[in-house]
Each structure stands twice: as structure tokens, then as C-alpha cells.
Homo-oligomer: A and B are copies of this chain.
């Protein structure tokens, strides 16, 4: 059995834009992989390729065959005509038995502070609440591969930290493969077994860090996180300077 998910020399053009050109990388299965990179570099495209929603123009993606995927998209993508609970039920219906489904829905909604809104429609939710519901949906759905595209955006700081902790706990119970895209380097360092910094388009790997520190020992102030943080930030800054010289 393959133990890695692998991009080999992947090319992908979207419309007129060559997003990936000979992009190669690999993510160990059963580990958390965090992707950081400048806006527009192709992170979402990588997730779409991993999910099989897009196909590479050339090159190979291996190791994703037969995996059950959950995906938090960059937008909440809720069903406006279903209530909060209905949106959960929608994805779980075919996957989980009715009795357990109710329980699971209640559990995840409570976890995210959405239980009292279970009968509201998405239009009555704030931006952060929509985001939480999207996350809920992905977490509750049984998965081997969890793709997260900025899942913690629009959430306040304590909530983000709490959710990072929650994700590590969940991973401990069920060590699935996660690919986590974020713009917050610290978040990546707190969560990832491996953190990858991507260059501007066409994406290449600028930096790859493997962190062996157990989750409970990771702390914003504790080495080696701050030094990784500094290095990564300056790498990203250099990238930014190339495409956005005026800022």
C-alpha cells in the first residue's frame, strides 16, 4: 500500500492561467500537512486536484485512489434552502444510520456553538457561523482524507485556537490524512506534522518543515516555532515583493 500522496510533475492550466508547472510534492498518509503560500499561488487548485474535482493536464497524482474525502471549501457553500441541521443531514444521510446521525449532528453543532441555530436557514447566520457550519459538515462526514481550505477564516482568535486543538484531538482519535491550507503561519506550525511554504505562481516548494514536537508541547512562544515563523514570514515577504512591489 502506498503511504504517501504524491504529485509528480503536475501541470495545470485554468483558462489562460498556468497555475502549476511541473509541480511535485508529497504528503505522508495519516499525517497533517499544512500549506502556506501567497494569495493566488495555486493552493486551492492543489486541493481541487487532490479531491479529484479537477484533473491534471499532465503529470500524475497518486495515492488518493479510493480515499473518502471531506473538503472544507474556501467558500462556505451551504445549501440555502436547508436549515443548519438540514445541511448536516444532507451530507450524512447516505453515510450514517439515522439514529447515530441525529446524535452526531447534535454533537458537532454543539461543539461549534451552532446547536441553538439548528433550525435557522443559512441566510440568518453570520459569516463566521457559516464558516463553522461548513467545517462541521466536513468533520462529521466519515473521511480518510480531510482537505481544509482556510477553514478558520472569519473566526475569532480563541475560537481558532480552540479549533486547532480540536483538530489535533480528532486526528489523535482517527489519524486521517489532512491537507490544511492557511494564511496564518502560526496556525500551520501549531497543527502540522509538515508545513510547506509555496512560492508565487507557478507554485514551487520554498520551504518544507517537519515538526516532531507533540501537539500539547507546541506553543506560540516555544522554539522552534518562533524561528520557523520568522523564516517563513520572510520567505513569503520576498515572494510578495515580487508580485506586489507597491505595497
Contacts and interface: CB of A to CB of B under 8 A. Distances in A.
Contact of A39 (B17, B128, B240): B128
Given A39-B156, A185-B157, A236-B158, A165 B247 contact: yes
Interface in A189-247: 233, 236-237, 239-240, 243-244, 246-247
B39 A244 contact: no
Interface residues of A, number: 50
A97 interface: no
Contacts of A163: 247
Contacts of A162: 240, 244, 247
B39 A129 contact: yes
A32 to B, nearest CB: 18
Contacts of A150: 127, 154
A183 B166 contact: no
A71 to B, nearest CB: 14
Nearest to A239: B158
Contacts of A126: 39-40, 44
B124 A17 contact: yes
Given A126-B40, A244-B113, A247-B166, A158 B233 contact: yes
B111 A159 contact: no
A40 B159 CA distance: 12
A37 interface: yes
Interface in A37-64: 37-40, 44
Contacts of A120: 15
Contact of A132 (B39, B75, B127, B156): B39
A36 interface: yes
Contacts of A244: 111-113, 159, 162
Nearest to A36: B156
B154 A153 contact: yes
Contacts of A125: 40
Given A113-B243, A113-B244, A162-B244, A38 B153 contact: no
Interface of A: 14-15, 17, 36-40, 44, 74-75, 110-113, 120, 124-129, 131-132, 149-150, 153-160, 162-163, 165-166, 183-185, 233, 236-237, 239-240, 243-244, 246-247
